């Protein structure tokens, strides 16, 4: 039996979602850095914990491996419900899920689509966790940009008169959308909108944004 550990990469957006979540909960979990720039996700030792060859992965004391950033956060939420980051009641939980899905599918994935299909570093690696043989597709860049523009318009409208995506409470939906915005900046995508910028500045000031 070994101690719980989080397989992480400091410069990647998906594990950042988990790190921000843990920081908001004041939870400390030992991390193992998987250097994606060097192709560390393809090492045999890592394939043992992640058949998908992506980070983050949480390995529990009993050897159970949990992939997917939100699945990892849900594990901790069940064990440490305070402060609630997945909603405080049925209504809020549903709205958090709604905005989390939009942030992931229309925001985060749109940015990933743009980056993976343009950056030379991803030539032949159009999907994460794939060593080669998945070529970049230029049309996906246009689709990603269109999805991103629609997403930030929606987020900006939602934030008019609200501190966070789901009212007055900071939640995992804000974490995913915030990480997607920073990811979009790397991809040089627009991140405008008066309300979006106010919201972004407020979250950037939280200590968890530096986790
Ligand atoms: N939906 C997954 C996405 C995981 C993912 O794509 N991770 C990226 C880093 S952000 C990765 O490990 N990429 C490896 C690669 O590019 O080969 C999650 O939320 O955990």
Ordered DSSP codes for 55-77: S-EEEPTTS-EEESHHHHHHHHH
| pLDDT at residue 167, rounded to an integer | 84
Element (H, E) at 141: helix 138-159
Regarding the beta carbon of 13 and ligand 1, being less than 6 Å apart is answered yes
Which of 7, 12, 54, 112 is the best mutation target for the ligand 1 pocket, counting ligand atoms within 8 Å of the beta carbon and taking the most? 54
pLDDT tens digits, residue range 34-82? 999 999 999 999 999 999 999 999 999 999 999 999 999 999 999 999 9
Nearest CA to ligand 1 atom 18: 68
Interatomic CA distance for residues 144 and 66, integer angstroms: 28
DSSP 123: T
Interatomic CA distance for residues 30 and 8, integer angstroms: 10
Ligand 1 atom showing the smallest separation from residue 34 Cα: 12
pLDDT over 70 at 100, yes or no? yes
The token pair that represents 156 in the structure block:
């900006």
Strands 31-33 and 65-67, sheet pairing: unpaired
Regarding the beta carbon of 12 and ligand 1, being less than 6 Å apart is answered yes
Ligand 1 center to 87 CA (angstroms): 25
Ligand 1 center to 193 CA (angstroms): 28
pLDDT tens digits, residue range 168-210? 999 999 999 999 999 999 999 999 999 999 999 999 999 999 9
Ligand 1 atom showing the smallest separation from residue 72 Cα: 20
pLDDT tens digits, residue range 137-172? 999 999 999 999 999 999 999 999 999 999 899 999
């Amino acid at each position: 039996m070994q101690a719980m550990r989080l397989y992480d990469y400091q410069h990647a957006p998906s594990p950042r979602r988990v790190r921000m979540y843990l920081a908001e909960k004041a939870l400390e979990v030992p991390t193992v850095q998987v250097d994606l720039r060097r192709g560390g996700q393809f090492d045999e030792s890592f394939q043992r914990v992640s058949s998908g060859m992506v980070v983050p992965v949480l390995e529990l004391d009993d050897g159970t491996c949990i992939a997917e950033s939100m699945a990892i956060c849900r594990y901790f939420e069940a064990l440490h419900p305070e402060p609630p980051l997945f909603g405080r009641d049925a209504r809020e939980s549903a709205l958090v899920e709604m905005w989390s899905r939009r942030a992931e599918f229309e925001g985060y994935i749109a940015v990933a689509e743009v980056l993976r299909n343009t950056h030379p570093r991803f030539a032949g690696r159009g999907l994460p966790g794939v060593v080669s043989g998945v070529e970049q597709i230029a049309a996906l860049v246009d689709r990603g940009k269109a999805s991103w523009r629609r997403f930030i318009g929606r987020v900006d409208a939602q934030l008019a008169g609200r501190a966070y995506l789901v009212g007055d409470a900071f939640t995992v939906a804000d974490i995913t959308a915030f990480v997607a915005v920073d990811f979009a900046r790397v991809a040089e995508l627009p991140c405008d909108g008066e309300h979006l910028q106010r919201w972004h500045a407020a979250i950037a000031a939280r200590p968890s944004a530096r986790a």
